[in-house]
Chain A
Amino acid sequence: MHNPETPPDPPAEPALDTEAPADAPRVGGGKVDLALGVLNGVVGDYLHANDNGLAISMALHHEGTPVALTREALQRAYPRATGRLALWVHGLAVTESIWAFPGDATRTYGAMLERDAGLTPLYLRYNTGLHVSENGAALARLLETLVTEFPVPIEELVLVGYSMGGLVVRSACHVAARDTLTWLSYAQRALYLGVPHLGSPLERVGSVVSWVLRTIPNAYTRLVADVADLRSNGVKDMGYANLLSEDWQGADPNVPLQNRRHPVPLLPTIAHHLIAGALSSDERNWVSLLFGDGIVPVSSATGRAKPEDRSPVFPQENVKVVSAIDHVAIAHHEQVYVLIREWFAPEAP
């Protein structure tokens, strides 16, 4: 029986549907593809330079298999496509399977947003060991072909990047603006999930450790430094979020902590939405302040740049911090989808 002295419970809000639509395709391939994603993240630049068959080539993937950029292949892969597309770009050392919620390869933000906002999901897979600038240029070319070959006239292209994927998206936009590519006119909204816009301190620590080991005149520590330096160009780019080839070309490999980043202004034609993660339940807690989501600090993921960061400051009206979440979970978490839906499908039931 209800106690008259205590206010009645507020009516329960309708639960947000974060279940996978019944007919959603699964994302990602098998365990071999997952292993190749990791391998490419670690030594993908080496594999690419040696024309090794394990190197991943950038391509859209549907149900784990690459989709050729021809009208027929696109029609076959996306028979129900609308003119409103969302491109999902994964992060370092993973594949598009990172978008799947644990235990259900069909449950993704892409599938839910297709149901709630009519945005057809396109999943990109690429070699994350290459420089961000190389992947950015490749993505810009891929999208230019996509907009000419897509079987349905394109109305909108939403760009979504998780972790390194967000940097690749920004690099591609820079190339498109520089080369006046047509696809950029369709891109009016971008979403960045746990993207290290100001770089990742983890990589900077790794670079210092490697430098220290190399300066010690000992064959064993130099061997460890050699192994540490095997990490790919993509990993090294994460230290200062290098977006352009000028950021890394000509850098002295023997000098650690070189912020050679050239500021890339945010395109005013695109609305930028950012979601950052914080490990503790309070964003201002010291754990969150120090470690952010465990990989990317909150200041980096929210683009709160200081002048010495040599990076544009992101408008903060479209920035949200999700608490009690780690970096990996940002790519598949109900709380994150709630925010995405608020921005991209506010009118959905």
Chain B
Amino acid sequence: MKRWRGLKDLVQDAVDHGATAIEKVHRTSAATPFQLLEQVPGLERPARVAHGLHDLALSGSYGMVRLVTRQVGKAIDQVLDVMEAPSACEP
């Protein structure tokens, strides 16, 4: 059981940290075209708004991945707790 819990923790950490690392790459890569557009006269404001919306959507998407992973992790923890607890029917 200790190993199952360890495996669950490891997968959860990998998804959590992996999502954060990819989000960072995604945000940095997307910033370059937005920064170029923001320098074009007349496009500064719409480009800045689009950039903000993009970053918001990005945070939401990757945040959701992390949130779901943590919730699934908690659910698995509860299942493991139940499996670990001595059965009430046992004499």
Contacts and interface: CB of A to CB of B under 8 A. Distances in A.
Interface of A: 32, 36, 47, 50, 52-55, 219-220, 222-223, 226
Contact of B6 (A54, A220, A223): A54
Nearest to A55: B6
A220 B25 contact: yes
Interface residues on B, range: 10 to 19
A52 B6 CA distance: 5
A47 B29 contact: no
Contacts of A47: 6, 10
Interface in B1-22: 2-7, 9-10, 13, 21-22
B22 to A, nearest CB: 8
B28 to A, nearest CB: 4
B74 interface: no
User: What does DSSP make chain A's interface, helix, strand, loop or mixed?
Assistant: helix
B10 A52 contact: yes
18 contacts: A32-B3, A36-B3, A47-B10, A50-B13, A52-B10, A53-B3, A53-B4, A53-B5, A53-B6, A54-B3, A54-B10, A55-B6, A219-B25, A219-B28, A219-B29, A220-B29, A222-B25, A223-B22
Contact of A223 (B3, B7, B9, B21): B21
Contacts of A226: 21
A53 B28 contact: no
A223 B28 CA distance: 11
Contacts of A32: 3
Nearest to A223: B25
| Most chain B CB inside 10 Å of its own CB: which residue of A36, A50, A53, A226 | A53
B7 A54 contact: yes
Contacts, number: 33
B45 interface: no
B9 A50 contact: yes
Interface of B: 2-7, 9-10, 13, 21-22, 24-25, 28-29
A50 B16 CA distance: 15
Nearest to B6: A53
Given A222-B25, A223-B21, A226-B21, 6 more contacts: A36-B3, A52-B6, A53-B9, A54-B6, A54-B7, A220-B25
Contacts of B24: 219, 223
Contacts of B2: 53
A226 B13 CA distance: 15
A54 B13 CA distance: 13
A248 B10 CA distance: 26
A223 B23 CA distance: 11
Contacts of A223: 21-22, 24-25
Contacts of A54: 3, 6-7, 10
Contacts of A219: 24-25, 28-29
B86 to A, nearest CB: 19
Interface centre among A36, A47, A219, A222 (most CB of B within 10 A): A219
A32 B2 CA distance: 14
A336 B87 CA distance: 54
Nearest to B3: A53
A224 to B, nearest CB: 10
B54 to A, nearest CB: 15
A84 B63 CA distance: 59
Nearest to A39: B10
B72 to A, nearest CB: 18
Contacts of A50: 9, 13
A219 B2 CA distance: 37
Contacts of A36: 3
A204 to B, nearest CB: 25
Nearest to B4: A53
A53 B7 CA distance: 8
B16 to A, nearest CB: 12
Nearest to B13: A50
A66 to B, nearest CB: 13
Contacts of B6: 47, 52-55
